[in-house]
Amino acid sequence: MSRLKIAVLFGGRSNEHDISCISAAHVVRCIPKDKYEVLTIGITKKGHWFKYIGDTELIASGEWEKQPDNVPCILSPDPIHKGFIAFERNGSTSNLKVDCVFPVLHGRNGEDGTVQGLLELAGLPYVGCDLISSANCMDKDMTHTILEANGIKTSKWVRILRSELDERLEEKCDEMEAKLRYPMFVKPCNCGSSVGISKVRDRAELEAGIKLAFVHDRKVIVEEGIVGREVECAVMGNLEPFASDVGEILPSNEFYDYDAKYNDSGSLTVIPAKISDRDREALRTTAVRAFKALGCEGLSRIDFFLLEDGSVILNEINTMPGHTPISMYPMLMQDHGISCEEQEDRLIKLALDRAGVDYE
Ligand SMILES: Nc1ncnc2c1ncn2[C@@H]1O[C@H](COP(=O)(O)OP(=O)(O)O)[C@@H](O)[C@H]1O
Ligand SMILES: [Mg+2]
């Protein structure tokens, strides 16, 4: 049987562009080439799409963008094209048909339902969560609301909209102080990578934190600070998902901010986390419940706080978690006995299964 053609999308108009490139290089390396042929499509920080045919290592380094062979290439929303239209150098166009798309995009304009919506229009199978679950997991206010409705604990929170910033800031801060204890965490609702997040200890910091978060978003949430260990679980599957063991993050900074995530090798990940079997099972069970409650499919990484008394508080769900060689998701799945090659193979098959494609 001929190999299936998989398009890997990477980069993107997001503050997690660089991480996406490193993740995508890892995914491209791991996709089993005896079964699949890979087409790489890079999206610049400005949102321009290109067909890239060069070395995989240049994807990770960001140098892919400067390659002379790149040609502009768009995803056609018309299912008749079954893929991409490339604008070749000689002025002609070509139709690049694919069997499945792997959007290795993190954050806005990629992990938030936007690209998933385009892929739905295009009628193409794609890896990972669909439009609505991606959007709901991206928006921290929606995630909290849906989890609460399903009896899954999150931190207490208050939402504030940009339209409330000028006239109602005092009133909203009073509401936050009545409902939440300091320290609080102020977050843009749809960002990622800890961008725009601050830990605040008093009213002045709260107001400043809210104004900063609004630089990044139209909606902001303020959460009560949780004192607990940061633990994460990888989930894979469609209707019958399973959870990996639990991993722990030991941030090098006061919280797991942008610096601790990407600039500082002092942050450690521990797999499996040194926790009791009871806590482990509580986390794994809650991870699967949350995955189902949010309508996730394919994969997600579910991040928690584990409190000293064993309570489990869900922090967030990442529907396209980091896939770099040292990222928690691939490492947790490897620990579960699934090699990186098999992970990508399974994720592609889950995408084809959902779309009802017969690939055997
Ligand atoms: N309610 C909270 N209590 C304590 N720490 C928090 C809380 N919310 C966030 N943090 C810290 O901030 C980090 C980033 O917050 P998170 O909600 O995961 O945002 P992002 O989507 O940017 O990863 C977390 O990993 C954690 O270290
Ligand atoms: Mg996080």
Please, which residues have CB within 8 angstroms of residue 269's CB and are 6 or more apart in sequence? Answer: 247, 248, 249, 250, 326, 328, 331
Closest ligand 1 atom to residue 315 Cα is 17
Q: What is the pLDDT of residues 276-316, one digit of tens each?
A: 999 999 999 999 999 999 999 999 999 999 999 999 999 99
Q: Is 251 a pocket residue for ligand 1 (Cβ < 6 Å)?
A: yes
Of all ligands present, the nearest one to the C-alpha of 216 is 1
pLDDT at 193 exceeding the cut of 80: no
Please, which residues have CB within 8 angstroms of residue 339's CB and are 6 or more apart in sequence? Answer: none
DSSP at 126: B
Are 323 and 330 within 8 A, CB to CB?
Answer: yes
Ligand 2 centroid distance, CA of 272 (Å): 19
**C-alpha–C-alpha distance, residues 121 and 360, integer Å:** 25
**Which helix (DSSP H) or strand (DSSP E) does residue 308 occupy?**
none
Closest ligand 1 atom to residue 249 Cα is 25
What pLDDT, on a 0 to 100 scale, did the predictor assign at position 255?
A: 79
Are 248 and 230 within 8 A, CB to CB?
Answer: yes
Are 307 and 226 within 8 A, CB to CB?
Answer: yes
Of the CA atoms within 13 Å of residue 258, those in its CB half-sphere come to 13
What pLDDT, on a 0 to 100 scale, did the predictor assign at position 351?
A: 98
CATH topology of domain 137-152+227-319: D-amino Acid Aminotransferase; Chain A, domain 1 (3.30.470)
pLDDT at 245 exceeding the cut of 70: yes
Percentage of the chain exceeding pLDDT 90: 91
Chain centroid to CA 173 = 30
161-194 burial string, b = 16+ CB within 10 Å, else e?
eeeeeeeeeeebbeebbeebeebbbbbbbbbbbb
DSSP at 2: P
CATH entry 3.30.1490.20 includes domain 157-224? yes
- Partnered with residue 74 across adjacent β-strands are 85
pLDDT at 55 exceeding the cut of 80: yes
- Bridging pattern class, strands 268-270 and 242-250: antiparallel
Residues 2-7, mean pLDDT to the nearest whole number? 96
What pLDDT, on a 0 to 100 scale, did the predictor assign at position 360?
A: 78
Mutation to probe ligand 1, out of 185, 252, 257, 303 (largest number of atoms < 8 A from CB): 185
What pLDDT, on a 0 to 100 scale, did the predictor assign at position 265?
A: 62
What pLDDT, on a 0 to 100 scale, did the predictor assign at position 1?
A: 67
What pLDDT, on a 0 to 100 scale, did the predictor assign at position 128?
A: 98
Ligand 1 centroid distance, CA of 42 (Å): 29
Are 236 and 317 within 8 A, CB to CB?
Answer: no
Q: Where in the chain is the domain with CATH 3.30.1490.20?
A: 157-224
Mean pLDDT, the chain, rounded, equals 95
Q: What is the pLDDT of residues 146-182, one digit of tens each?
A: 999 999 999 999 999 999 988 899 999 999 999 999 9
Residues 27-43, mean pLDDT to the nearest whole number? 98
Closest ligand 1 atom to residue 195 Cα is 22
Closest CA to 60 of 282, 359, 325: 325
Percentage of the chain exceeding pLDDT 70: 99
**Per-residue 3-state assignment (H helix, E strand, C coil) for 40-60:** EEEECCCCCEEEECCCCHHHH
- Bridging pattern class, strands 229-237 and 4-11: unpaired
**C-alpha–C-alpha distance, residues 182 and 226, integer Å:** 10
Beta strands in 88-192 (DSSP E): 93-97, 100-103, 157-161, 184-188
Q: Where in the chain is the domain with CATH 3.40.50.20?
A: 4-128
Q: What is the pLDDT of residues 111-145, one digit of tens each?
A: 999 999 999 999 999 999 999 999 999 999 999 99
**C-alpha–C-alpha distance, residues 103 and 110, integer Å:** 7
Confidence of residue 264 (pLDDT cuts 50, 70, 90): low
Residues 263-285, mean pLDDT to the nearest whole number? 90
Are 126 and 34 within 8 A, CB to CB?
Answer: no
- Is the bond into 183 cis (omega within 30 degrees of 0)? yes
- Bridging pattern class, strands 4-11 and 36-43: parallel
Q: Where in the chain is the domain with CATH 3.30.470.20?
A: 137-152+227-319
pLDDT at 330 exceeding the cut of 80: yes
What pLDDT, on a 0 to 100 scale, did the predictor assign at position 183?
A: 98
Closest CA to 283 of 337, 320, 331, 228: 228
Please, which residues have CB within 8 angstroms of residue 163's CB and are 6 or more apart in sequence? Answer: none
pLDDT at 259 exceeding the cut of 80: no
Are 314 and 304 within 8 A, CB to CB?
Answer: yes
Ligand 1 centroid distance, CA of 333 (Å): 23
Of all ligands present, the nearest one to the C-alpha of 194 is 1
pLDDT at 257 exceeding the cut of 90: no
**C-alpha–C-alpha distance, residues 147 and 235, integer Å:** 16
**C-alpha–C-alpha distance, residues 129 and 114, integer Å:** 12
What pLDDT, on a 0 to 100 scale, did the predictor assign at position 316?
A: 97
Of all ligands present, the nearest one to the C-alpha of 143 is 1
DSSP at 154: B
CATH topology of domain 4-128: Rossmann fold (3.40.50)
Of all ligands present, the nearest one to the C-alpha of 255 is 1
Q: What is the pLDDT of residues 77-118, one digit of tens each?
A: 999 999 999 999 999 999 999 999 999 999 999 999 999 999
Q: Is 230 a pocket residue for ligand 1 (Cβ < 6 Å)?
A: yes
- Partnered with residue 160 across adjacent β-strands are 220
